[in-house]
Structure formats: C-alpha cells, structure tokens
Structure 1
Amino acid sequence: MTDQRVTEAAGGSILFDAARAAQVDAEWFSPDAWASQGALRSQAGGRGGVAIIDTPAGEAVLRHYRRGGMVAALLGDSYLFTGNERTRSSREFRLLAELAQRGLPVPPPVAARHVRKGLSYRADLITLRIPDARTLAERVADGAFNEALARRVGELVARFHREGAWHADLNAHNILVNGEGLYLIDFDRGRLRRPSAGWRRANLARLKRSLVKIGAREGGDMFDEVLWPALVQAYDEAFRA
C-alpha cells in the first residue's frame, strides 16, 4: 500500500509515495540533476521520451508529459490547469497506485509533479522500472510473437478489464515482457470505469491495429488465423474466470 504524501513545490506540488522515498524535491524531476550525481542511465527524446535514473527508491523511469499529433506544435507540453487533483501526473500516479493495490502488474508509482504557469501547467511522473523487460513490439520485430505469448497477452488485458481498468492507448509498445511476466505501462488518461462490452472490444481493436501496424501480419496468415484468435480466446476465458 502506498503512503501518499503531498508537498508544495515552486508553482505547484509534488505527490509521492513516502513508503518508497522519505522525501522528494524538484531535483528528482531534473535529468540534469541526476546526471550530476552520475545517476542518469539513459535519456531519450520525443513524445515518448524518458530518462532512466537511479533513485533512492530504486531504478526508475522519469517521464515528462508531452502532447502528440498536430496540437503538439501549438501547445507542446502545456496543459490547462483545472485543479491539483486533475493534473495528468496526479491522476496517473493515483491510478497506478490503485491498480498495484489490486494486484495488477503495473510499474509502481514513486512521485508525480506539476508546475503551474498562469492557467497552464507542465507535469512529470516517476515510476519504478520493470527490470530486464522488452516491449511486445520488440518481440514482434524479433519474430518471437508466438501463440503462447499471444494467449498471455490476452490474459493480461482481461485481468485489467475485469477490474474496469481502461487504458487510453493500448498498444504493443505499452506491454512489457520479462522473465517474471507481462506488464501494462503508460496509463496517462486511463481510468477506472464499469466494464462493458463496448469499450472492452474497442480496447482490443486498438491493440490489434497496433500489432498490424508494426508488422505482425508480415509472416503470412499466421496472425489472423492463429495468433489473434488465440489472444481473443484467452482474453474471453480469463475475463469470464
């Protein structure tokens, strides 16, 4: 269970799990600050860019919230401020904490921050890193997406849907695989809702489009005749269980 604390920060606030870090300040959200300590392991740019950092809570992922698509050119990383509890970072932190409490495989949240500027804000989130993990997209690219893995993916998604956990961007890049199991990451804009066939099937359709887009069909009929049916069958069985 998380021990959620909030501290005031310059122009905003920091929400953190005191069970993992006794105190979190603004420097936790600065890749340069971690680099100065020799604790910045890697950093990538772009909308999905993250920094891998060594923190007192363990190896973690620092993600700065950025917009995508055409609106990114206009608003970049700024969002309309409508209250501390409604910032994207706070909402994702609290959702991840709730999902972890329910035993679902998500990266545990460490800290979230938002910084206001007038009517807008910018935000960041730190989660623990899933060790030795590769994305499902990488497994597809390596030709390692087989029937057994397809069934495990179906079972994973069903576990979340049974709890009413809706993922706003369910795709092959947001499913991680390691020796311990499968995980679902990046719950920005996700939420808990009453399970219904409509949004559950739409979520699965989004995942299917993602798999097709990254080349899952390139091996011939295997995807449509074996892999996707196996995934859906495992999903249906797990959801009814």
Structure 2
Amino acid sequence: MQIKTTQLGHVAWCETTAQQLAPQDFAVDGWRDNNAVVGQSKGRYTTWFVKTANSDSSQTWVLRHYWRGGMMEKFSRDAYLYTGLKRTRAVAELTILETLYQEGFAVPRPIAANVERFGLWYRADIIIEHVAGANDLVAYLSHNSMTESQWYLLGETIAKFHQRGVYHADLNAKNILLAHGQFYLIDFDRGELRTPHPTWQQANLDRLLRSLKKEHAKLTTLQFSQQHWQQLLAGYQSVNPI
C-alpha cells in the first residue's frame, strides 16, 4: 500500500491500482459532472457506482463514504476520533482487502482510501472495484433458488475465510455476492484478521443465519429454508469443523 499526504489528510492506494487518486476523486460531485456515475445502491446511505476513463480500459468502481450508525449518529453523522492512520476505518478496511485479494480470496479488488483530518477527528471514504455481474444473496434469492451444491459451496467459502482468521463484523446476506458461480464477501468495515477460534466463528455464522431468517420474514418468497442452512453448514464443516 502506498500513501500520499495531502493538505487535509491522506490518500492511500493499493499496488494493483494503476493510477494515483486525489481527495476530490472521492467526492461523487466530480464524477457526476463528468457523467461518470453509472448507478447507486441505497441502504441507510447511498453507495455510488462510477465509471473510470482510463486510456487502456474503463473500470466500474464503488465509492463509499463512512457514516456513523446507532447512538453515535445523533452526535455526528460521519466524524470519527483520529488515533492513527492505520486505525482509521478506511485504511484498516483497505489493508484487509489488499491482503485477502493478494492471497486469492474472493473479495473485490481494493482501489484506494481517503482520510481527511480536522483537529482530533477525521472523515473517510473508500473505493473498491465493482464485481461485474454480481447480485447480493438477498437480491438473488428473491428471484432464484440455489442448488444444494451452491449452498455447500457458500459454506466452504465462509469456512476458508474463517480458517484464514478473517473476522467479518457484519456477515449478513447482503454482504455476500454471487457472480458467475462464485461467492464473494464484501464490506470489511470493522473487520479483523485474528487468531481462528470457534467462539467468534460460530458468532459469525449465527449472525448470517439471523440475517437470512430476517430477510425471509420480510419476503416470504425468498428461497431460503432450514434445509438450505444445513447444506451450508455441511460445506462449512467439510473445511473448518467447529
């Protein structure tokens, strides 16, 4: 990872990124002015999909600002206490993604992170490459069913992340993508690389199960059942028995 110091803070980018970025590249307004915004995803806040104009080939990137949630959102929507560059949410997430991407794990290619300091506080953004042709698990299961082998493969995929010590702070159905027969994990905000242990691994699985049940309760046509979960667990246990 390379880091450039700017007037306001720092821009970090990965070795796999062909170009250096400036703080203004993390603001959607500039992309919109160039007619380069090609989509958006609305959850609690909006994530933007932007098209680059590289001379070699264009790419679609995902631009995400870090917003607070929970009780702290009432005090500040996007300001975080600065305790060091590597501990900022953007650089920490970028670092995990770069490590996993270089090791061949199914994660989006990391591009860059932006950290802007003001006094004791900072705001941050991250850019990753869009996984072409991907649907999150909720969107996919809303219109399609997965085969037994696909549920098994999903379990194997999660188990391999866990074996590597990847703790995902929010392993839910919307943070799992399916593209061209492969599952990807996304959104590693507050994630960690830690020593593998059954306690946090089981907690990750429990969180995913609660997420799938919640989504099924909201949309009863969602193609998920307890049998599907048992197929996922079989795949998981084949790689990482806990």
The farther-off stretch of 192-201 and 38-47 is: 38-47
The total of aligned residue pairs comes to 236
Q: Following superposition of structure 1 onto structure 2, how do residues 68-107 of structure 1 map, counting pairs within 5 Å? A: 68-107=69-108
C-alpha contact 2:14 2:98 (8 A) present in aligned 1: no
Does residue 9 of the first structure (1) align with residue 11 of the second (2)? no
2: CA distance between counterparts of 1:112 and 1:73?
25
Query: Which of 13, 18, 24 matches 1:21?
Result: 18
Query: What percentage of aligned pairs have identical amino acids?
Result: 38
2: CA distance between counterparts of 1:45 and 1:229?
31
2: CA distance between counterparts of 1:45 and 1:172?
16
Instruction: Give the direction of change, closer, same or farther, for the CA distance of 1:145–1:73 in structure 2 (3 Å limit).
Output: farther
2: CA distance between counterparts of 1:235 and 1:80?
38
Q: Following superposition of structure 1 onto structure 2, how do residues 77-226 of structure 1 map, counting pairs within 5 Å? A: 77-215=78-216, 218=220, 223-224=225-226, 226=227
2: CA distance between counterparts of 1:232 and 1:59?
34
2:187 counterpart SS class = coil
> What do residues 141-180 of structure 1 show as CA deviations (whole Å, max 9, x unaligned)?
2242443332122111011001000100000000000114
The farther-off stretch of 50-59 and 162-171 is: 50-59
2: CA distance between counterparts of 1:200 and 1:100?
21
C-alpha contact 1:161 1:200 (8 A) present in aligned 2: yes
Structure 1 stretches of 5 or more lacking a match?
A: none
For residue 102 of structure 1, report the CA deviation from its aligned partner.
1.5
C-alpha contact 2:142 2:221 (8 A) present in aligned 1: no
1:223 aligned partner, one-letter code: S
For residue 214 of structure 1, report the CA deviation from its aligned partner.
0.1
1:30 matched to which residue of 2?
27
1:75 counterpart SS class = coil
State the TM-score, normalized to the length of structure 1: 0.91
1:232 aligned partner, one-letter code: L
State the TM-score, normalized to the length of structure 2: 0.91
Aligned Cα root-mean-square deviation (Å)? 2.1
Structure 2 stretches of 5 or more lacking a match?
A: none
The farther-off stretch of 197-206 and 56-65 is: 56-65
